Amino acid sequence: MTSSLVPAKRAAGGLVDLDDAEDQIIKPEKAKEQISSEKWPLLLKNYNELLVRTSHFTPIPMGCPPLSRPLKDYVKYGVINLDKPANPSSHEVVAWIKKILRCEKTGHSGTLDPKVTGCLIVCIDRATRLVKSQQGAGKEYVGVVRFHGKLEGGAVAFRRALDSLQGALFQRPPVVSAVKRVLRVRTIHEVEMVEYDDARNLGVFWVSCEAGTYIRTLCVHLGLLLGIGGHMQELRRVRSGAMTEGNGTGLVSLHDVLDAQWTYDNTLNETYIRRVIQPLETLLTSYKRIVVKDSTVNAICYGAKLMIPGLLRYSANIEAHEEIVLMTTKGEAIALGIALMNSVEMGSCDHGVVAKVKRCIMERDTYPRRWGLGPIATNKKKLKAEGKLDKFGRANENTPAEWKAGYKDFSESSNGAGHSPALAAAAIKDTTDPLQAPPIPPSGPEFGVTSKGDSSTGSPVGKAAAASNDDDSDGPARKRRKHEGETPEERAERKLKKKEKKEAKEKKKAVKAEKKRVKKEARHEE
């Protein structure tokens, strides 16, 4: 560590005062500067505040921070905080953006009526997977209500009526709505009066509500409460989920989108279009986060659950069954998930499932595959290549005895075969201690259960017990499969017949459709 020396005061005669010079020396300190991640972007904000499970992992040079993605991927994983104009519908606006940006898919976070303006989140391509989560997010509006007469009490009565409309309310969709007009319950979180014009009978209010609330119906209820009637004059959405119309949130107009695309097409300048489009991680900043290892990313993209060995960091106060976002160490969103552990269990358990995937966001194979590389999986691939296992990894006549003895196929125990009546009967027969046998369910008229014949043999357990008492039986009868024991030639012949039958059926269907078409054309000519 370097130190600097400030020029000391010179005494009379041009000599330096040594006592003052020592006071001006900056001495080195052992204290280290704390790294602050408060200003880090998007999901990496306050990264150092996340709880640490482990810090040891092997970085993979794949992926990219959201703000540094190539422009093609930046648009593909982008969202637009659009200031919707009045008159066109939300679907028209989204279709125009799809045509301007020449992308495959677009979606929006909640329909706005044609006359309503304000925040409309437009998701592009892969970001459309977040549409459902954003449609259910909270909304905020600024509305203008026009009363049908003079309001006694003025602004005071208006404010009192607004305060009475907080909490859960019954609402029926307006007549102009395109949905079924059934009674619904919607929650008004907060409502405030902004202004009241007594001369024109106009009131301006701000409301924070859940998704699906009809502000038009709210204005009608205001008029009914005040006894003079009223209707909605104007409405603007000022917040939709994580997006607001405030400064710094990137609210843009359709003109900005068109100009940004034109600028890039003609000048190859990406600055404008990167300002108009934001990464989809902007919508997920309010979620609790779980950071996973790079070797785990692609498995999650293929639908695997997150296990304890793949966990790096996690937010505090995560509750079980809470919706969270899975992210990489570079700040990329992998998927929306459901936590299966709370924060305490994540830090204390050495095995188990941390979270399951609810909606995958990242495209598959963005990161390389890192499963099937262990010693058992490698040996299994080798045996399959040598013909000692079939193509599904199951044992055949060439399988070594060591493999059969040491390998446990967990997929067989998960398909329900371990709970068959035959295996239950075998368990009863092999049991020497009668106290370890499973209980026989009650039967008979006194228990409300009737069976044909002896009640001891009416249930599978009773039948198994009866079979165990038979000295001539070698064991429980196993159910024979439909095509068990057939040779490869018989199987090939059966497949061929099935294929011919299917082709004949399709041909018959095509002939029938052609006859129907000809008959329809003849009727049309008549």
CB 79 within 8 A of CB 235: no
Q: What contacts 24+ positions apart, CB below 8 Å, involve 249-255?
A: 249/81, 250/81, 250/275, 250/276, 250/278, 250/282, 251/81, 251/82, 251/83, 251/119, 252/80, 252/81, 252/82, 252/83, 252/276, 253/82, 253/83, 253/85, 254/82, 254/85, 254/93, 254/96, 254/97
Name the DSSP class of 51.
E
Radius of gyration for the chain, computed over Cα atoms and rounded to the nearest angstrom: 35
Concatenating the DSSP letter of every residue in 98-133 gives: HHHHT-S-EEESS---TT-EEEEEEEEGGGGGGHHH
**Distance between CA atoms of residues 219 and 205, nearest Å:** 10
Concatenating the DSSP letter of every residue in 145-214 gives: EEESSPPTTHHHHHHHHHHTT-EEEEE---TT-SS----EEEEEEEEEEEEEETTTTEEEEEEEE-TT--
Burial class (CB in 10 A: 0-12, 13-18, 19+), 298: buried
**Distance between CA atoms of residues 299 and 355, nearest Å:** 13
CB 58 within 8 A of CB 295: yes
Answer yes or no: 113 catalytic.
yes
- Cα–Cα nearest to 232, from 174, 167, 159, 153: 174
Pairing of strands 288-292, 311-314: antiparallel
**Distance between CA atoms of residues 81 and 102, nearest Å:** 18
Phi, psi at residue 171, to the nearest 5°? -135, 140
Query: Count of alpha carbons within 13 Å of 221, Cβ hemisphere only?
Result: 18
- Partners of 197 in beta bridges: 202
Pairing of strands 288-292, 323-327: parallel
Q: Which of 113, 125, 256, 294 is catalytic?
A: 113
Under DSSP, is residue 302 helix (H, G, I), strand (E, B) or coil? coil
Q: What tokens does 255 get?
A: 């003109």
The residues annotated with a catalytic role in the active site are 113
